[in-house]
Amino acid sequence: MRTFRHSPGRPDVAGFYDPRTSSVQYVVSDPSTRRCAIIDPVLDFDEKSGATATHHADELLDYVAAQRLEVEWILDTHPHADHFSAAQYLKEKTGAPMAIGSYVTKVQALWKDIYNWPDFPADGHQWDHLFNEGDTFKIGEVESHVMHSPGHTLASITYVIGDAAFIHDTLFQPDGGTARADFPGGNAHKLWNSIQAILALPDDTRLFTGHDYMPGDREPGWESTVRSQRESNIHLCHGLTAEGYVAMRNERDAGLPMPKLILPSLQVNIRGGALPEPEENGQRYLKIPLDALPEATWGKARN
């Protein structure tokens, strides 16, 4: 299985695939200045043993060192429901600031109630910077801007960096379709609007997605273009209207079980990837609310 691919350009994009969670991490760099951002890093977690590790995050650091890059940003596209974020760990290792969309506060407010955390500060202070729609920034000399892309979650954002866009869980590869919209705070109509905004980018914009579930047992892939998504995405290329898409998406989502790590992951990821504080015995504990998602479908869980 190929778990690494390099896409040269401006920016250069290195993608690292995690088979355990079907997630893709990125190192995005300006070839002129050797400065980079890390996007959607994974902190390893084994739900069977409760063990955590930094294997995948260390792989990113090894690549950064080998390429002699300087990390300017650690970016998350949204609070993930299927893996822990390694943003805090990478900040400790690199000193680079962590950032996410400002809309994360809405997700924090929603999940603090689910976890019964009345004193949890749902203000986004766990990150160094909160981006709004239309905000601009640079990676080295590469111009970048932020698009708010709600639907999959309330807080999802897209980073448009040079001729590349990091579209998280809004679109998958064309043979994988589009993201679900049934998580708490999700909305299929907003997802449709977010997809249309992404497809309005220039045709040759490179699109990098956050997951790949390898339909037909093919090799994992995570790069496409606006043109290829518009022409061949299995959920978009049949002339669907907004209403037709919403009906299709809601019908599909009604049969999908929740990701197996949603309840562990969100309590870590709404804290910016920080693990729970140790209790008096020195042990950390995750809190799993029972029957908190009563509409969830039972069945074989997708990551």
SS3 182: coil
Residue 302 pLDDT greater than 70, yes or no = no
pLDDT tens-digit series, residues 218-271: 999 999 999 999 999 999 988 889 999 999 999 999 999 999 999 999 999 999
Residue 303 pLDDT greater than 80, yes or no = no
pLDDT at 294: 86
Q: Evaluate whether 233 touches 225 at the Cβ level (below 8 Å).
A: no
pLDDT > 70 fraction of the chain, expressed in percent and rounded = 98
Write down all domains in the chain, each with its CATH number in brackets.
4-269 (3.60.15.10)
Q: Evaluate whether 63 touches 15 at the Cβ level (below 8 Å).
A: no
Confidence (pTM): 0.96
Task: Report how far residue 97's alpha carbon sits from residue 88's, in angstroms, rounded to the nearest whole number.
Answer: 9
Q: Which amino acid, one-letter code, is at 52?
A: T
SS3 226: helix
SS3 108: helix
pLDDT tens-digit series, residues 185-229: 999 999 999 999 999 999 999 999 999 999 999 999 999 999 999
pLDDT at 185: 94
pLDDT band at 299 (very low <50, low <70, confident <90, very high): low
The two structure tokens encoding residue 148: 């708010």
